[in-house]
Amino acid sequence: MTLSNDQRRLKNNAAYASIATAIILTIIKSAAAYITGSLSVLSSMADSLADVISSLVTLIAVIYAEKPLTCEHRYGYGRAEAVSALVQAAFISGSAFFILYDAAYRISHPVILKQTGIGIGVMIVSVILTLILVSYQKYTLRRVPSQAIEADNKHYWIDLAANAAVLVSLTAVHWFRWKWVDMAAAVMISIYLIITAWKIAKRALEEITDKEIDPNIKAQIIDAVMSIEGVKGCHDFRSRISGARWFIEMHLEFDGELTLLHAHALSEKAENKIIALYPQAQIIIHQDPFGIKEKRLDNDISGVCSL
């Protein structure tokens, strides 16, 4: 699927907005962490610093993934977004382990928190800015698919929850002097970051290793082509995802007496049906005479899949 100029502009703007937000949050949280000595604010600042780097990677991936097809890259550059998601997962998990280490260190080396009112103000601003960003990213994703921006969006939703948790912890310290809440919030944020990093990395690895599209979507596509009069069978279906594009291959079976021209017309009809359902799909259809005995991919994967 070729993106329109408006869609491409939306993706790029979302990436730029992510970088700008991350830089602003890193600066104000750094100041708040230095002034207050709060581990939860420091954990949030480390996450924002990682966001700056990962958002830059996202921007590069979004621009690179939209490069036109070339003779050397006939499937395009969509996998750049999956690589970007892996890099994000690495930065997210790295910042999480850094905070867990600092939390363990502070058990034996307690830090006295101060100026918590400033920290509370900074975290309120952080919540507002993050909420604006995730809303804009969701707006973008409704109009154009992007694994890199989707990964960034999921990360910032966790950031939103984390910022809120830090805000609550600072309030508890400020009003009730519950110093342990600050460390507990930092640990919870770190655990959430590790879980998020795993989910992002898992999805990116699935794309890189050519995992099939969703089984329900696959079934819908097969039902669509089998509903065409003249199509007698379908086998050796396989698919993979590369950024905003889906690559789908299948063998369709026709009456052996059909002319090549007629079989081609039916194949084109099947292709148009699939594209009507999923415009991002690029389809290759091989035409087979119905009932022919041949070596099939489905047989090589016996017991794992039926089509």
Q: Where does the pLDDT of residue 275 fall: very low under 50, low under 70, confident under 90, or very high at 90 and above? A: very high
pLDDT digits (tens, 9 = 90+) for 51-91: 787 777 767 776 777 777 778 877 777 788 788 888 878 87
Which residue's entry shows tokens 């669509």? Answer: 224
Please state, in angstroms and rounded to a whole number, the distance separating the CA atoms of residues 231 and 129: 54
Which residue's entry shows tokens 């002097």? Answer: 177
Computed over every residue of the chain, the mean pLDDT equals 81
Beta-bridged to residue 233, according to DSSP, are 253
Please state, in angstroms and rounded to a whole number, the distance separating the CA atoms of residues 140 and 204: 20
pLDDT of residue 232: 93
By C-alpha distance, which of 225, 281, 280 is closest to 254?
225
pLDDT digits (tens, 9 = 90+) for 173-227: 777 666 667 677 777 777 877 887 888 888 888 888 888 888 899 999 999 999 9
By C-alpha distance, which of 38, 63, 8 is closest to 173?
38
By C-alpha distance, which of 270, 281, 256, 275 is closest to 223?
270
User: Could you tell me the two tokens for 275?
Assistant: 């594209």
Q: What is the mean pLDDT of residues 129-151?
A: 84
CB 244 within 8 A of CB 3: yes
Q: What domains lie within the chain, and their CATH numbers?
A: 5-208 (1.20.1510.10), 215-300 (3.30.70.1350)
CB 58 within 8 A of CB 91: no
The vertex-72 CA angle with 68 and 78, nearest 5°, equals: 45
Please state, in angstroms and rounded to a whole number, the distance separating the CA atoms of residues 18 and 55: 6
Q: Where does the pLDDT of residue 110 fall: very low under 50, low under 70, confident under 90, or very high at 90 and above? A: low
Positive/negative CA dihedral, 120, 124, 127, 133: negative
